[in-house]
Structure 1
Amino acid sequence: MIAKQSIGKSFMGAYEYNYKKLHEKDTTKRAELLSTNFSSTEREILKKELDLMKSLNPRLARNTYHTSLNFGKEEILSIEKMLAIAEEYLNKMGFDNNAYFIFQHHDTDHPHCHILALRNRFDGTVVIDSNNFRRSEKMVRKLEKKYHLQELRNSKEDPTKAPNKDEIEMVLRTGEPSKRMILQERVNEALKQTKDLHSFIRHLKKNDVNVLFNQASTGRVCGIPYVCDGFTANGQVLGNKFKWGYVSKTLEYEQVRDSK
């Protein structure tokens, strides 16, 4: 299981992102509301409750906690099990007296749910965010063992770098992925669809991605930056899966034959 967290200023913005999923026309991608302690999902009623909660701690600007819990592709979870995991994660992260929503999404090839919570508690105190990521990693490992889940890589070792805080907030605000996220998706698709370096390059070009090659003085390739829509990024930025070492092992490549 991998947890991707963000802390932001717009609870309603994050809610709208999930609310749209609840009413998705494509039923295979429609989200479900698993649990909440808000009295209603109607926007006007929800806003009134939020205003009341914010009045308990008006100086708290970054009052919104949003995280997704992502499970392995082969993982089969009942709604009850996913909800139990999400609620325990939320409570152990300190949100044991807070207003929250838990949504299950169906728009990826792996099971996952989204947790949306206010950082200010009902008693007016605030959930501390220090060492958030370290505490989350520790909690995820415990939950994997307790619920007999597939043990996934530590998020720092994940082959595709997760969206950062600014990217998550941008997606929640605009509904559009960042250029880095688009590049990750297109390169990942090319790696799946091709077997050799030449077809890999051609596949990327068809999707408006150009590939550059950094060469050492010996002529050996030592890096592979990607360019899309004026944005350039290498494997260090995109994730281990996109580095030259991984690409050259995954695709058919011979230095002498393919050097040109």
Structure 2
Amino acid sequence: MIGKQRKGSGFRGVLNYVLDPHKGRLIGGTMEGETPRELAREYAETRQLNPSLKKPVYHVSLSLSPGEHLNDAEWNTIADRYMIEMGFARSPYVAVRHTDRDHDHIHIVASRIGLDGKTVSDSRDYERSEKVIRGIEADFGLQRVAPSREAERRALTSGELRRALETGKPSVKMKLQRIIDDEAKHSLTMSDFIKNLERQGVVAIPNMAGNGRITGMSYQLNGETMKGSDLGKGYTFAGIQKRGISYAMERDLEELRRQKEINARDSQAGNDLTTHQVEGKKAVTGKIKEVCTINGRDHVVIQTDKETIVIPASSLDKTAAELKKMVGQEVRVRGGLRVRIDEPKERQMER
């Protein structure tokens, strides 16, 4: 079972969503109303008991794994138990079952203000929710789902998923997870793994202690850096080793230090070029002039009508070899590091 919690300021909007007649039906709770309007009116009464609370809405969805199903009575029991163990015993709430997806799930909408006017504590609510859910899974014989912090591969947040759907393109998180998964299958040592990632445009950045001990790993793609733990447990330095990629300090430390030094140089170069940076949000169209290397990284020089700019080759999702074949072709780019190459500051470019 997976639980997702949200807090908000308005009851009517979330009630309209969960009680959409095409998606769900009311199966339980402690309130008299049945429509969004009736329920919102009841919630408004408790809101007056503590008007200073800016986000009185508590919304949680509880979802089963694909293939698992419960009846309404079982879901109602689970909703009551979840609310009591999360501290909402004295707060009004409703439970709504949705059948619009391939996994059985319910939504619970509650007031964070109890009938005594006190605010329900949200201290460590995510940890407490995980504990409650683990107990429900055990008692109802449900499949145990690893908590988000334990997941080998972290799922997209709702915002990341929405942006991916809007743009039609995978997010940097999705790209990094896919590339790392692919390269981990073909790497035996940490040095091999880092070099293979580099060929795919991904920079592995070790978090290194003074004695050379590696305490973590981050990854950079298209100018965006993410910690391994943000991608999932399987993408941390320890997680990579559990995939069968060996690390020996005497063999791999030099390669890790090289990566760290390259990243430091590139970061400094980025700082030096800040005043000459082209606005990254506006899309530009131009022809590929050449492919070059700056500080050990492949870049593409693009000639537009107004200026000549350079962008990381990885931002076009192509290898340097592929881009060299595209010299003279027109491309359209948006975002990423785009810097004028005709600024007075000198910069070493290896042709």
- TM-score bracket for the superposition, by shorter chain length: 0.5 to 0.7
> Residue in 1 aligned with 2:60?
67
**Change beyond 3 A, Cα 1:181–1:113:** farther
Q: CA deviation at 1:153?
A: 0.7
Kindly indicate whether residue 1 of structure 2 is the aligned counterpart of residue 5 of structure 1: no
Find 1:23's aligned residue among 21, 24, 46.
21
Q: Secondary structure at the match of 2:31?
A: coil
Find 1:147's aligned residue among 140, 145, 158.
140
The structure having more radius of gyration, on CA atoms, is 2
**Change beyond 3 A, Cα 1:34–1:225:** farther
Unpaired runs of 5+ in structure 1? 25-29, 168-175, 198-211, 217-221, 250-257
One-letter amino acid matched to 2:162:
S
Q: CA deviation at 1:2?
A: 1.6
Q: Secondary structure at the match of 2:62?
A: strand
Q: How does 1:90-239 map to 2 (within 5 A)?
A: 90-158=83-151, 159-161=153-155, 163=157, 167=159, 178-179=162-163, 183=170, 213-214=201-202, 239=231
Once superposed, what is the RMSD of the aligned Cα atoms?
Answer: 3.9
Q: CA deviation at 1:241?
A: 9.8
One-letter amino acid matched to 1:14:
V
Number of positions where the alignment pairs a residue of Structure 1 with one of Structure 2 = 208
Q: Tell me, in whole angstroms, the C-alpha distance in 2 between the residues paired with 1:98 and 1:61.
A: 17
**Change beyond 3 A, Cα 1:130–1:181:** farther
Q: Tell me, in whole angstroms, the C-alpha distance in 1 between the residues paired with 2:49 and 2:218.
A: 52
**Change beyond 3 A, Cα 1:129–1:65:** same
User: What percentage of aligned pairs have identical amino acids?
Assistant: 28
Q: CA deviation at 1:226?
A: 7.7
> Residue in 2 aligned with 1:85?
78
Q: Tell me, in whole angstroms, the C-alpha distance in 2 between the residues paired with 1:135 and 1:236.
A: 25
**Structure with the higher strand share, 1 or 2:** 2
Q: CA deviation at 1:41?
A: 2.8
Unpaired runs of 5+ in structure 2? 184-199, 205-216, 244-318, 322-351
Query: In 2, are the aligned partners of 1:95 and 1:127 still within 8 Å (CA)?
Result: yes
Query: In 2, are the aligned partners of 1:214 and 1:223 still within 8 Å (CA)?
Result: no
TM-score (norm 1): 0.64
Q: Tell me, in whole angstroms, the C-alpha distance in 1 between the residues paired with 2:100 and 2:229.
A: 25
> Residue in 1 aligned with 2:252?
none
Q: Tell me, in whole angstroms, the C-alpha distance in 1 between the residues paired with 2:218 and 2:118.
A: 49
Q: Which has the higher contact order (CA 8 A, sep 6+)?
A: 1
Query: In 1, are the aligned partners of 2:95 and 2:109 still within 8 Å (CA)?
Result: yes
Q: CA deviation at 1:109?
A: 2.4
